[in-house]
């Protein structure tokens, strides 16, 4: 059996499991990257539109629940 680069001998099952785990990890990293880009675009859009978490957004939330803001 060939030696693993780390010095351990692996059988075909262990190699397959390692390859599958690496593929899953790569897929998850890619998905996280896409979600980050989507979140950044949404955050930027909210800032440009004046929505988000600023005072106007809080006033809108307060108005929805019939609270007074700034009194």
pLDDT digits (tens, 9 = 90+) for 5-40: 555 555 788 898 999 999 999 999 999 999 999 988
DSSP bridge pairs for 3: 9
3-state secondary structure of 3: strand
Q: Residues 6 or more apart from 64 whose CB is under 8 A from it?
A: none
Phi-psi region of 70 (alpha: psi -120 to 50; beta: other; left: phi over 0): left
Percent over 70 (pLDDT), the chain: 54
Model confidence pLDDT, tens digit, residues 33-57: 999 999 888 888 777 776 556 666 6
The pLDDT, as a whole number, for residue 68 is 46
Residue 57: strand, helix, or coil: helix
């Amino acid at each position: 059996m060939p030696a693993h680069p780390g010095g351990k001998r692996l059988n075909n099952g262990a190699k397959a499991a390692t390859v599958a785990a690496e593929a899953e990890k790569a897929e998850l990293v890619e998905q996280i990257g896409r979600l980050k880009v989507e979140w950044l675009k949404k955050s930027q859009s909210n800032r440009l539109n004046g929505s988000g978490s600023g005072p106007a957004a809080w006033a809108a939330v307060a108005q929805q629940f019939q609270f007074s803001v700034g009194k």
